[in-house]
């Protein structure tokens, strides 16, 4: 346990003083290795980094990054918003509900929380403010809705968990669908309760308008159908699906919507490559940290300690969620998954939980962390769009956070909700 305390102590100390996540993970691993296992050559760290990156499944990361950027810049978000707005025009707090609904659709295209907030929030936040919503409430709605980005497949954190646990990417993708829908419904419910006084329905529901906007958005809406359908039928693997999504997004944005000049495509490609390299760099160092946890026996000892102390399944699962939420406040999803999976998976296996259910619970907790300061990525994006302070938006997002935590606890204690579709697919 001393090794574990030193390892996590160094990591938390470096994060507190502002050292980047990737560097913190690497330094904590190297110092602990040099102090407690001096016979192990330090060159094992870069070797583990290369080994973790040399994985076929991780090839999906840059492709999904590129696909999300193409969707963000190709005018697709506007067409999705118009379609959802035609559907939800008669609901109380219709613009807030449109923001959540459009975010759910865009999540099925991008697989990224910040991209979802930027794409939908960039359009909907100004519209909500114009309709009488307080700017901090509009930003909170967009940030909370953006958490669907990595819960509804495709999802880069799900790919990372599949590598860390040897779970099926396909099963994880299908396992995230129902929880994602439940969270979207919960957020819409909170919108109606808290925002009905800000916006009234401005137009009558028209089936003709729904049909017109549906035709405009059909190519974008078909993308998740093609991706998940292709994976399910075995036409392509999840990694190949990422490449297909990038090509499909390029064709739609360039030749159908004609919103992608070659100069912009070049900038998008460079941006996606940089973002993918950052994510993979963090993943490789987190994998090295995870390897040392396992090699030193820390993960096994911590798993045994948790089971002995908390004993009952109810409290163990509760503590698992609290731990994941705590780390979600400090680290990104991929880092959390690679750090905690070696510790949590042996515990949950003894409790009879399927690794797919554990993966979805982990991803949902990590996504809630995206609206929980200090590492609240979604809040920072929404703040930049709305020009409100982090303090203001942090209080406004609390009802949405509570709704998401409720759904997270629901799927934790009723994992059949997660496993319903994966069991059918199997």
In this structure, the number of other CB atoms found within 10 A of the CB of residue 388 comes to 21
Quick one: pLDDT at residue 199?
61
Q: What is the pLDDT of residue 41?
A: 64
- Read off the DSSP letter of residue 17: T
The full length of the chain comes to 426
What distance in Å separates the CA atoms of residue 128 and residue 356, rounded to the nearest whole number? 37
Q: Residue 410 gets which letter from DSSP? A: H
* pLDDT at residue number 1: 62
pLDDT tens across 24-55, in order? 888 888 888 888 777 766 778 888 888 877 77
**Which pLDDT score, from 0 to 100, does residue 202 have?**
56
Q: In this predicted structure, what is the pLDDT of residue 376?
A: 82
199/134: higher pLDDT: 134
Q: With a cut of 70, say whether residue 201 has pLDDT above it.
A: no
Mean pLDDT of the region 316-344: 88
Lowest mean pLDDT among 99-103, 111-115, 368-372: 111-115
pLDDT at 409 over 60: yes
**How far is 197 from 380, CA to CA, in rounded Å?**
26
Q: Output the pLDDT for position 100.
A: 94
Mean pLDDT, residues 167-187 taken together: 94
Mean pLDDT for the stretch of residues 302-330: 85
pLDDT per residue as tens digits for the range 211-266? 999 988 888 888 888 888 888 888 888 888 888 988 988 998 888 888 888 888 99
Token output for 367? 């996504």
Nearest by Cα to 111 from 167, 168, 62? 62
Q: SS3 of 264, please?
A: helix
Higher pLDDT, 72 or 322: 322
Task: Give phi and psi for 51, each to the nearest 5.
Answer: -60, -40
* 307 vs 364, higher pLDDT: 364
CA atoms within 13 A on the CB side of 126: 6
Q: Residue 42's closest CA among 52, 54, 32, 53?
A: 32
Backbone angles phi, psi at 355, to 5 degrees: -55, -30
The reported pLDDT for the residue numbered 152 is 93
């Amino acid at each position: 346990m001393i090794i574990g305390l030193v390892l996590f102590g160094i990591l938390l100390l470096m994060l507190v003083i502002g050292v980047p996540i990737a560097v913190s993970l690497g330094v904590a691993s190297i110092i602990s290795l040099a102090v407690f296992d001096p016979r192990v050559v330090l060159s094992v760290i870069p070797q583990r980094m290369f080994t973790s990156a040399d994985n076929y499944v991780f090839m999906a990361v840059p492709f999904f990054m590129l696909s999300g950027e193409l969707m963000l810049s190709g005018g697709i978000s506007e067409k999705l918003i118009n379609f959802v707005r035609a559907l939800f025009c008669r609901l109380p707090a219709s613009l807030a509900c449109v923001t959540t609904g459009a975010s759910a659709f865009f999540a099925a295209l991008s697989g990224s929380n910040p991209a979802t907030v930027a794409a939908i929030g960039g359009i909907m936040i100004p519209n909500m403010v114009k309709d009488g919503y307080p700017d901090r409430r509009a930003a909170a709605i967009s940030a909370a809705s953006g958490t669907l980005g990595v819960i509804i497949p495709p999802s880069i954190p799900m790919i990372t968990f599949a590598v860390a646990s040897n779970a099926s990417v396909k099963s994880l993708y299908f396992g995230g669908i129902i929880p994602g829908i439940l969270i979207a419904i919960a957020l819409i419910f909170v919108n109606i309760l808290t925002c009905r006084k800000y916006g009234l329905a401005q137009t009558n529901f028209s089936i003709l308008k729904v049909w017109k906007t549906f035709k405009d958005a059909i190519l974008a809406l078909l993308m998740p159908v093609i991706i998940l359908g292709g994976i399910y039928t075995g036409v392509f693997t999840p990694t190949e699906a990422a490449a297909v999504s990038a090509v499909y997004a390029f064709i739609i944005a360039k030749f159908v919507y004609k919103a992608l000049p070659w100069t912009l495509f070049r900038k998008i490609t460079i941006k996606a490559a940089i973002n993918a390299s950052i994510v993979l760099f963090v993943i490789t160092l987190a994998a090295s940290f995870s390897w040392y946890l396992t090699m030193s026996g820390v993960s096994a000892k911590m798993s045994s300690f948790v089971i002995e102390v908390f004993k009952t399944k109810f409290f163990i699962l509760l503590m698992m969620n609290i731990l994941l939420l705590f780390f979600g406040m400090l680290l990104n999803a991929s880092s959390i998954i690679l750090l905690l999976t070696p510790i949590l998976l042996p515990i949950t296996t003894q409790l009879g939980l399927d690794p797919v259910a554990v993966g979805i619970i982990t991803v949902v907790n990590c996504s809630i962390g995206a609206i929980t300061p200090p590492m609240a990525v979604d809040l920072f994006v929404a703040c930049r769009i709305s020009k409100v302070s982090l303090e203001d938006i942090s209080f406004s997002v609390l009802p949405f956070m509570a709704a998401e935590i409720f759904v997270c606890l629901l799927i934790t204690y009723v994992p059949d909700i997660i496993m319903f579709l994966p069991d059918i697919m199997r």
